[in-house]
Structure 1
Amino acid sequence: RRRGLRGRGAPLASLFSRRLRWSLAGVVGAVLALAVASWITIGENPVHAAYLTLLDLFAINDPAIDAPLPRKILQLLSGLTGLLLLPVLVAAAFEGLGTFRSASALRRPPRGLSGHVVLLGLGKVGTRVLARLHEMGIPVVCIEADPEARGIALARRLRVPTVLGDVTQEGVLEAAMIERAAGLLALTSEDTTNLEAALYARSVKPQLRVTLRLFDDRFATAVYRTLRAAHPRALTRSRSTSFLAAPAFAGAMMGRQILGAIPVERRVLLVARVEVRGHAALEGRTVGEVLRPGWLRVLAVDTSAPDDPEPATAAAPPPEQEREPAHLVHELGNDYVLRPQDRVLLVATRQALGELHSRRSRPAGAGVRR
C-alpha cells in the first residue's frame, strides 16, 4: 500500500528548494536576533519586544523619532530585514506553485530504466493495454502525440512515464529509451505510423520484440513476412484488429451458436454449437465425413435428445431453456452417424462455418416464390 501511494503527492520538504529553506531560516534568525536585542537594550517585556520587532519588520509601527538611539537603529535594521523578506516570500510562492504543477504533470522516463515495454498510442486500445500492463507489474513507457488523448489521464494517475511527441520525429523513441527496452507495442490507429515506428526501432535494436496493430489483414500479413525475413532472430507479431474482431461481431449476429473465438497466428478459429437438423453437410453423415483438416472438426456430440422424436417435436424443436442438460460425448469415433436431433460442438474457421450455413438444406414444404 505504501508503494502504491508513493509519487501521487509532493512531500512537504520538496515544496521549497534547499537554498530557499536556508534563506527563510536566515530571515527567521535575524528577526529573533532583533527581538532579543530590543529586549536587552530597551528593557521591554520579551513578548512586547518581539511584537515591536514584527511591527517594524512589516512597516506597521510608527517611526521612533523621539526614541533613544538604540531603538532607532533597531527599527532601521528591522525595516531592512522586512525588505529582504519580501523577495524570499515571493520566491517561496512561485516554487510551491511550480512543485504542485510538476507533481500533477506527466513523469519522464527515469535514468537507468531498462527491460521495459514502450507503448505507442494511448487511444482506446492503448489505454486498456496500459491498464493491463500496470496490473501485471510490467514497467511501461508511453508515447503519445495528442496531449488530450484518452489514456493521458490514466498515465498521469498511475504515474507512468510518458513522452509527448510524434514518434516519426527524431529523438522521440530515444527519449523512451527504446535501445534498452524489451518490446514495442505500436497501437496507434495509423498503420503507417506503427510500421514506421517498428522499422526505426528495429534499426536501433534489431532483436527487439515488436507487436503491430494494423487494420488490413493482407497488409498485416505482408508486414509480418517482411519483418520476419529481415529479422529472423527477433519476435515479430502483426495483427489486424478488424480481422480479430470479426468473429466477435459474427458471434453476436449468430446468437448463442458461437461459443468463443481463438486467434491462432493468422487465423481465427470459432467454437460453435450447431443443430444437425437442416444441415446437408451434417445430417446423415459420419463424423469422419464431416472432418475437413485445417477447416472444420467435430469436437463433441450432444446425444441427450431422444432417438425417435415425435413428429410434432421434430417439426418444432423446443427452445434452448426447455431442453435437457447437454450430455457431450467426445469419443464417438469417426463412424458415428449424426442424427437430426443431435447437436454438435465443432471448431472451424470463418470460411468453413460460413460454407456450412450456406449449404443448409431448405425446410420441407418451402416452395419457390415467383
Structure 2
Amino acid sequence: MVVCGDDGLARRLAGELREVYRERVTLVVPVDRSRPPEVGRRPGRALGLLGRVPVARNPRLPGAEPADPHLRVVEAAEPDEEALTSAGVAGAAALALVYEDDEANVRAALVARRLNPRLRLVIRLYNRKLGQHLEGLLDQAAIIAEPGLDLRELDASTTVLSDADTAAPALAASAVAGTSKIVQADGLLLRAVERTPPGRGEVADSGLCTLALLSATTGDPAGAEGSELSGARGPQLLPDDRAVAAATGRGTVALEAVAHIGPAGSTGRLAGAAFPVASLFSRRLRWSLAAITAAVGALAVASWITTGDHPVHAAYITLLDLFAINEPAVGESPERKTLQILAGFTGLLLLPVLVAAALEALGAFRTATALRRPPRRASGHVVLLGLGKIGARVLPRLRELEIPVVCVESDPEARGIELARRLRVPVVLGDVTEEGVLEAARVSRAHALLALTSADITNLEAALYARAVRPDLRVVMRLYEDDFATAVYRTLRAAHPGALTRSRSVTHLAAPAFASAMMGRQVLGAIPVERRVLLFAALEVAGHPQLEGRTIAESFRPGAWRVIALDTSAPEDRRPDLSATPEETRLPEAGLVWDLHPGYVLTAQDRVVVAATRRGLAELLGRRLPGPADPGPRSRTV
C-alpha cells in the first residue's frame, strides 16, 4: 500500500493500514526544507508523526536499524512520476492520494494510473463534481491501457472520498443531544440513535438492531470520556442479545431507521421558493393591498348593478376612474357620479401603497444578497464556529436535521459564506477571539457550541469563553493534536462536571473509510461510538466463508460484524457502491431489506450491508490479524 500526503490524514491512514490490516505501507511525505541534513535522522520527523506511526530509519545510513520493516518513508518534493516510481506504485496493490491540494491529487492519479492500470486508487477531493468525473475517467484509462482488464473482477476501480464529507455527519450529530448519528453515502442514509437506559418495568426499544452498548450509565451520550483520544475503557460494539439483556443501566446505540434524503448541500424545504410573497412584502402592506383590491371589486360590482353594463365593461370603467384617466361623469346619473368620486379616492389611497410595495420589494432583494443577522431572541440554536472546508460540510447536515444554526466566520470569502447566504442562515463576521463576537451569536442562549476552525488554540479559546458565559453549554471542539485534546478534555471535564464536552478529530473519523477503500471495498460510512468507530460496508457474499452458506444468525459474530441489510436487486442491476445520483435514486425499500429473518441462508449471489468494527472488517476481507506469535507495532494508532 502506498500513501501520499502532507498532513495528519496521511499519517493516520498509514497507521490504520499497518495496525488494523497488517499491510506493508510506503508513506510518501514532502521534503522538509527547513531542516539541515543530519546523520541518523529519521525521515518524516519534521511532520511530527503524532499518529504513532512507527517510522523506519533510513536504510542507506550506516548502522541504522529499521524500527519497522513493513513501513517505509519516502521524501519527495511533489508526487511526480519519479516519486511514485520510487515508492513502488508499479507493483503496489493500492494508492491513496490524500494531499490537501486537489490539483496535486488529480495530477498524481493520472500518472499512477498510467504506471499501473491494475492499481486501486483512493483519491481525496473536496470538489464533488470533479470527483464524479474523475472516477469514470481513470477507470476508462485503465481499460484502455489493458483492453482485457476487468475492473470489477480485479477491484482496480477508482474511489474518490472527502475527509470533510466523511466526518461532517458525525460532527453535526455530536453537537445536539438526542439526535441521530448519521452515515450518508449519496442515496443511502443510516441513522443510529443513542437511547438512555430503560426505567424499571420498561422495555428497551432496540429499533432494527442494537449496534453498541455505551459505557455511560447516565444521560451523557459521550460516556465516561468524551474524547475518542483518551485511554479509558470503551463501549461494547455489536453485542449479542444476551449481552444487551444483561447490560442493565447502560445506554445503547440502535439502528433506528433508513431513509432517503437529497444530495449533500441541497437546501431541501429550507430554500422553498426563491422569493415568496411573504418575504417581499410586510404583513401590514399585504393587508393594505387586500383592502384596496376588495374596495375596487366592490366598486366594479356596484357599477355593474347601477348601470346595467356588462361586468367586464363595468370593471374596465372602474379601473379608468381609479387611475383618473376617464372622462368626468357630467350629465350622467347621480349613482355614476358617486361611484366615480369613490373610485378617485381609492386611487389616491392606492398610490402610496404601490410606492411602499416597490420600496419593500427592493429592500427584500437587497437583503437576500446580504448575510442575515442573528435574531435578538434566538435561543436553543447551535453556534457553528468556522465556515471553512469542514464547517461548510457540517452546516447543511445541521439544516437537514432542522436544527437552527448561527455561524461565526472571520473570513468574508470563506467556502461556506455563500452556502450560508443561500440557506438564509445568520452569520456573524468577526474573529471569535475578539470581545463581543460570541455575544452577537447569542451564545448565552445557545444549545451547543461547535468549534470547527483549523486552529486548535482558537477552538479552545472560544470554548473557554463560552463556558465562562454559560457553564452548562454543550461544547464540541475540533482538535488535531492527540495529547493536547486529551489534556483539554480532562481539564474542562474537571472544571465543569455538569457540562458535556467532546473533542473530535476529522482525520480520526476519516482515516478508517480511506483505509477500507484501499482494501478494495467501498465503505458506506462510519459512526463514532464514544472513542471507537463502527464501519458500514457493502460486501458480496461470494468468497467470504464467514457469510456464504450461513444463516443471518450464524453469520453474526458479536464484537466483530453483523449483517444488517440484504440487497435484493439483480446482480446486473446493482450499483457498485450502493450510491446513486439524484436522477436514479430510489427508496431503500426497493432494493434493500433491513428486517432480515434470522434463518435466511446467505448465498454466493447475495450482497449484504454489514456493520463491523475495523478489525472485524479486516478479518472479513481475509487480512491476517496480529496474534501472540505475531505482535503488532509497539504503539497503537487511536
Shift of 1:224: 4.8
| 8 Å CA contact retained: 1:207, 1:234 | yes
Structure 1 pair 345/109, CA: closer, same or farther in 2 (3 Å)?
A: farther
Match of 1:202 in 2: 467
Shift of 1:227: 3.7
| 8 Å CA contact retained: 2:428, 2:441 | no
SS of the counterpart of 1:124? Answer: coil
Alignment of 1:93-112 (within 5 A): 93-98=358-363, 106=372, 108=374, 111=377
**Equivalent-residue separation in structure 1 for 2:271 and 2:389 (angstroms):** 26
Query: What amino acid sits opposite 1:203 in the alignment?
Result: A
Pair 1:83-2:369 in alignment: no
SS of the counterpart of 1:142? Answer: strand
CA-to-aligned-CA distance 1:62-89 (integer Å, 9 cap, x gap): 445x634745665454333323212222
Shift of 1:162: 3.0
**Equivalent-residue separation in structure 1 for 2:272 and 2:456 (angstroms):** 35
Match of 1:361 in 2: none
Match among 331, 335, 340 for residue 67 of structure 1: 331
Farther-moved stretch of structure 1 (88-97 vs 230-239):
230-239
CA-to-aligned-CA distance 1:97-132 (integer Å, 9 cap, x gap): 555666786484695743x54321111011233344
CA-to-aligned-CA distance 1:241-293 (integer Å, 9 cap, x gap): 78x69989x98xxx98xxxxxx9999xxxxxxxxxxxxxxxxxxxxxxxxxxx
| 8 Å CA contact retained: 1:36, 1:46 | no
Pair 1:154-2:154 in alignment: no
Query: What amino acid sits opposite 1:24 in the alignment?
Result: L
Query: What amino acid sits opposite 2:451 in the alignment?
Result: A
Pair 1:126-2:412 in alignment: no
Pair 1:164-2:428 in alignment: yes
| 8 Å CA contact retained: 2:444, 2:469 | yes
| 8 Å CA contact retained: 2:378, 2:442 | no
Alignment of 1:213-362 (within 5 A): 213-214=478-479, 223-224=488-489, 226-228=491-493, 230-231=495-496, 234-237=499-502, 328=624, 334=628, 336=629, 346=632, 349=635
Match of 2:68 in 1: none
Shift of 1:203: 0.6
Match of 1:284 in 2: none
Structure 1 pair 80/112, CA: closer, same or farther in 2 (3 Å)?
A: closer
**Equivalent-residue separation in structure 1 for 2:325 and 2:308 (angstroms):** 19
More helix by share: 1
**Equivalent-residue separation in structure 2 for 1:264 and 1:40 (angstroms):** 76
**Equivalent-residue separation in structure 1 for 2:453 and 2:291 (angstroms):** 54
Match of 2:453 in 1: 188
**Equivalent-residue separation in structure 1 for 2:340 and 2:494 (angstroms):** 84
- Pick the structure with greater CA Rg: 1
**Equivalent-residue separation in structure 1 for 2:530 and 2:318 (angstroms):** 81
**Equivalent-residue separation in structure 2 for 1:56 and 1:63 (angstroms):** 9
Aligned length: 277
Match among 45, 59, 63 for residue 309 of structure 2: 45
Match of 2:272 in 1: 8
**Equivalent-residue separation in structure 2 for 1:200 and 1:327 (angstroms):** 47
Structure 1 pair 347/12, CA: closer, same or farther in 2 (3 Å)?
A: farther
| 8 Å CA contact retained: 1:119, 1:141 | yes
**Equivalent-residue separation in structure 2 for 1:206 and 1:212 (angstroms):** 16
Match of 2:18 in 1: none
| 8 Å CA contact retained: 1:34, 1:78 | yes
| 8 Å CA contact retained: 1:247, 1:350 | no
**Equivalent-residue separation in structure 2 for 1:138 and 1:31 (angstroms):** 45
Match of 1:142 in 2: 407
Structure 1 pair 84/215, CA: closer, same or farther in 2 (3 Å)?
A: same
Query: What amino acid sits opposite 2:289 in the alignment?
Result: L
CA-to-aligned-CA distance 1:154-179 (integer Å, 9 cap, x gap): 345556x4332323344443454433
| 8 Å CA contact retained: 1:58, 1:79 | yes
Report the TM-score, using the length of structure 1 for normalisation.
0.53
Structure 1 pair 182/45, CA: closer, same or farther in 2 (3 Å)?
A: closer
**Equivalent-residue separation in structure 2 for 1:56 and 1:175 (angstroms):** 53
**Equivalent-residue separation in structure 2 for 1:327 and 1:195 (angstroms):** 40
5+ residue gaps, structure 2, are 1-260, 262-266, 520-527, 532-620
Structure 1 pair 150/32, CA: closer, same or farther in 2 (3 Å)?
A: same
Match of 1:308 in 2: none
**Equivalent-residue separation in structure 1 for 2:511 and 2:316 (angstroms):** 80
**Equivalent-residue separation in structure 1 for 2:292 and 2:460 (angstroms):** 60
Query: What amino acid sits opposite 2:410 in the alignment?
Result: A
SS of the counterpart of 1:346? Answer: coil
Structure 1 pair 235/327, CA: closer, same or farther in 2 (3 Å)?
A: closer
5+ residue gaps, structure 1, are 257-262, 267-324, 337-343, 352-370
**Equivalent-residue separation in structure 1 for 2:509 and 2:296 (angstroms):** 72
Structure 1 pair 62/142, CA: closer, same or farther in 2 (3 Å)?
A: same
Structure 1 pair 53/224, CA: closer, same or farther in 2 (3 Å)?
A: closer
Query: What amino acid sits opposite 2:428 in the alignment?
Result: L
Please provide the CA RMSD for this pair.
5.2
Match of 2:119 in 1: none
Query: What amino acid sits opposite 1:45 in the alignment?
Result: D
CA-to-aligned-CA distance 1:178-221 (integer Å, 9 cap, x gap): 33444322111344432321111111222434333356667656
**Equivalent-residue separation in structure 1 for 2:623 and 2:435 (angstroms):** 62
Structure 1 pair 346/117, CA: closer, same or farther in 2 (3 Å)?
A: farther
**Equivalent-residue separation in structure 2 for 1:131 and 1:192 (angstroms):** 26
SS of the counterpart of 2:632? Answer: strand
